[in-house]
């Protein structure tokens, strides 16, 4: 991401809450703060704009047919160890 760096002072409780929330959501602290700025209407991005991940996340981890575990199919293990 290209951009500027912002430094600010927050309380220990706010920092702990930020870290906990970012960890729980699996995102960086900066990403969480940028999302909060968007929600507050501070950024210039259009409301409702989605990231690439948000667009495809409903499709991730989905597949139809085939084995869920390749180790159950002997043809995948035929050359293992050679």
| Higher-pLDDT residue of 57, 16 | 16
Q: Is the pLDDT of residue 19 over 70?
A: yes
Burial 52-81 (b: 16+ CB within 10 A, else e): eeeeeeeeeeeeeeeeeeeeeeeeeeeeee
Number of residues that make up the chain: 82
pLDDT confidence tier of residue 45, bands split at 50, 70 and 90: low
Q: Is the pLDDT of residue 17 over 70?
A: yes
Are 29 and 19 in contact by the 8 Å Cβ rule? The answer is yes
Q: What is the pTM of this model?
A: 0.50
Average pLDDT of 58-78? 69
């Amino acid at each position: 991401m290209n951009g500027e760096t912002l430094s600010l002072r927050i309380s220990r409780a706010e920092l702990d809450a930020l870290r906990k929330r970012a960890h729980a959501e699996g995102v960086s602290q900066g990403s969480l703060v940028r999302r909060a700025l968007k929600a507050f209407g501070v950024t210039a991005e259009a409301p409702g704009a989605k990231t690439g991940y948000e667009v495809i996340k409903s499709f991730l981890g989905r597949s139809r047919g085939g084995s869920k575990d390749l180790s159950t199919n002997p043809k995948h293990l035929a050359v293992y160890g050679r």
